[in-house]
Amino acid sequence: MKSYKVFAVLAGGVAALSVSPAAVRAQDTVTTTAPIVVKQTPAKAVWMKATVVHADAVSLIVRERDNQMAIHTFSLSDEAKAKMQGIIDAGGYQNGDSIRVLWMPGSQTAIKFKGRPSKGV
């Protein structure tokens, strides 16, 4: 026998062994237990220190003071809209004014805000 025929026979044997079905094991029995109940704490509103980028009667765009790369756009709650309208009538917030915004993490609504607007031009 020539060497390539020996190689072909060995390769064929290896291929045949790899294709043969593997031994099948009986499946283990699975026991189920009651699910674990995890209490979730309700989210709390958080005050964020920010700098005003833009403010109008229905929205507020601010930049975080701690993370200057983070910009947030908030819609205003009904209470905050009434307060913002009064501030806009007096001249409004200007770009760069410092404010604090009360908001729920994960939402885009400003519940309250505090801060003194700069003097109008």
SS3 for 97? coil
Name which residue leads in pLDDT, 16 or 50.
Answer: 50
Residue 107: which CATH number? 2.40.50.140
Q: Does a structural domain hold residue 16? A: no
**Three-state DSSP state, 79:** helix
pLDDT in tens, 7-48: 777 677 666 666 555 555 666 677 788 888 889 888 899 999
pLDDT of residue 9: 73
Find the helix or strand (DSSP H, E) in which 94 lies. Answer: none
Domain range for residue 54? 46-114
Task: Indicate the number of domains in the chain.
Answer: 1
- What tens digit of pLDDT does each residue of 88-106 get? 999 899 999 999 999 999 8
pLDDT recorded at residue 2: 64
